[in-house]
Structure 1
């Protein structure tokens, strides 16, 4: 199996990507010649990790008959100071809301995602450390 994406230059620093039939605009900040018409490319690395592990976790929890009221995943990445600026580490925060959410099942679903199913996590772990934390019913939503 092979995946392929393409981007087309629109103007200045703006490019339109097509991914799985969906169009996404990428652009640079105004101070470097863009018009801020869309997100920068690098944060999509964080988005890819968040989406991959979130889909795994919710799928695994459904099989365990655990259904949170709400579920969010946040990924932060530490950038190096020098060019090329790269992520040197990432942290995943899994946030669950609801009643009767057994911590052992939440942890098991997350561990299965991180250690077995999430291909994005698997490849990133070859390049940088990834840590995670779990929050159940956090104040902010």
Structure 2
């Protein structure tokens, strides 16, 4: 079993240490806003989880990915518990990428690999979309 610890450090601030030993400061008070809050961390975890999948899958497909940005947006329930009820994920990819390969990588993450998304789908509708931006001309290698 994996174990995480959360220690109160004053006000509504906490230091969370995960099984890896890395620590993250969190702040539940949105007015002081000194660190991400717990539900904000869930959005960040969703983005990082699916990003990991997509990068790995595209590398295996030998796609020339230059950059990836994932923007996760969401709405929460009005009454407690204020769980995520609607999530939208936008993938912005840059590189020499095949549209079908990108779509397949995202679908695999959505349907099979992203554990965070699998948990969030229990309370939220999750929609996905992507934009493929052209490769940076300075990175394209050509021959004269």
Q: TM-score scaled by structure 1?
A: 0.87
Name the SS for the 1:114 alignment partner. Answer: helix
1:6, 1:121 → 2: CA distance?
23
CA distance in 2, matches of 1:3, 1:90: 27
The residue number in structure 1 matching 2:141 is none
- CA RMSD after TM alignment: 1.6
Whole-angstrom CA distance in 1 between matches of 2:89 and 2:59? 21
* Larger Cα-atom Rg: 2
Q: Structure 2: any 5+ residue segments left out of the alignment?
A: 135-144
SS at match of 2:64: coil
Q: Secondary structure at the match of 1:92?
A: strand
Q: Which residue of 2 aligns with 1:6?
A: 5
Under a length normalisation based on structure 2, what TM-score does the superposition of the two structures give?
A: 0.85
Q: Quote the residue 1:69 is aligned against.
A: 66
CA distance in 2, matches of 1:46, 1:28: 15
Query: What's the secondary structure of 1:136's corresponding residue?
Result: strand
Partners of 1:67 and 1:122 in 2: CA distance: 28
